[in-house]
Amino acid sequence: MRVPLLLACCLCLTACQRATLTEEGAHVVLASSAEVPTHVAGAAPAVAAAEGPRVTGGTQPARAVPDPPFTSTPVATFNEPWAMTFLPDGRLLVTEKSGKLRLANVATGQVGEIVGVPAVAYGGQGGFGDVVLHPRFADNRWVYLSYAEAGSGGTRGAAVARATLQLDASGNGGSLSNLQVIWRQLPKVNGEGHYGHRLAFGADRKLWITSSDRQAMTPAQDLQSALGKLIRLNDDGSVPPDNPFAAQGGIAAQVWTLGHRNMLGIAFDGAGRLWTHEMGPAGGDELNLIERGTNYGWPVVSNGDHYGGEPIPDHPTRPDFNAPEAWWTPVIAPAGFVIYSGNLFPWFRGKGFIGGLASQALVEIEFDGTQAREARRYPMGRRIREVEQGPDGALWLLEDGGGGRLLKLTPNPS
């Protein structure tokens, strides 16, 4: 009986000796647990096995993960692109911050325009924002848009509208009709920063809206202000009765979580958990697991400091607030977020990808249930505003600013 026992031990040791991807200069803070420290900044790179990481697919033999794992191909160019979403036919809707909605044929690189978009308050961080499709788009043709909207006395605030999309027979354009504003970020305030207004639909067809603090800070703790909140609505803008503060009425009824700063990424993982990321002040960018009715602490606590140098108490000083699962100092300035579920990159399945503005990188996130950490950082040489997964499993990026390119990432040969 010794031979089978020895064989079993060898198999066990082989299974345990799985290599991990190398971390390249990641400044990351891991979520606290009994086995890891709460702050690991500039940690030494993990060393992969000599043959590199390997992945398997069912009964197929293991294959080495190429390094770098992808090739980047420019497809089209836009003026200050901000967000994108794929149509069922494979074409791409892209918002430009100054107020244009573009239609891109990613197979040919041809770019047209969708007319009938709402007027936007363009300036600073404000303008045209996110674009997503209704979960039943094939039936109802509803497109959801977010944008900065002008108010009285020079004030501004985010708004979300839905409209019906009609594409031209030419295949290079279209129009929006029946536009309805279904949510407004109230109160409107002065300034041109921190709108947030990222959009996502959950499996239950509820609409989620990131509503940032508009650089006003303290309203993030006020339930009768929409600033600094994660909003959950029905697809028509009405309030679901199971929202945590629904009984309070008014703006509070819309709120799912509070105490946020500037949320520019939102995504569901394969288990249905919702994650958001937000920009910290001078340090302390955050990746948060969203938990119903909880308070994330801004501006009372933060793992960063005010820009003028005034310290802010760190999260551990107030355990009553919900602390981030991962945070960054120096900041990455996160923008755009997708949790990969495709087949083109089997080694990326279940990983998160965040666009880095200040870091000019694509940041890979590794999840372990409700824990998260930065796994690797891919320098891109430009500020990355948006990340999306394509119908064929490719990863797509939008560079920030004038002349921002649409990039398609496909696997390198192994």
Q: Which residues are catalytic?
A: 194
Q: What amino acid is encoded at 99 in this protein?
A: G
Q: What is the DSSP letter of 187?
A: S
For 141, half-sphere exposure in the C-beta direction (CA atoms, 13 angstrom radius) is 11
Contact 363, 354 (CB under 8 A): yes
Distances from the Cα of 272 to the Cα of 5, 59, 372, angstroms: 40, 28, 15
Query: What is the DSSP pairing of strand 352-356 with strand 334-339?
Result: antiparallel
Work out the burial of residue 173: count CB atoms within 10 Å of its CB; fewer than 13 is exposed, 13-18 middle, 19 or more buried. middle
Contacts of 8 (CB under 8 A, 6+ apart): none
Alpha carbon distance 43, 41 (integer Å): 5
Peptide bond before 313: cis, by omega within 30 degrees of 0? no
Alpha carbon distance 14, 62 (integer Å): 13
Contact 105, 171 (CB under 8 A): yes
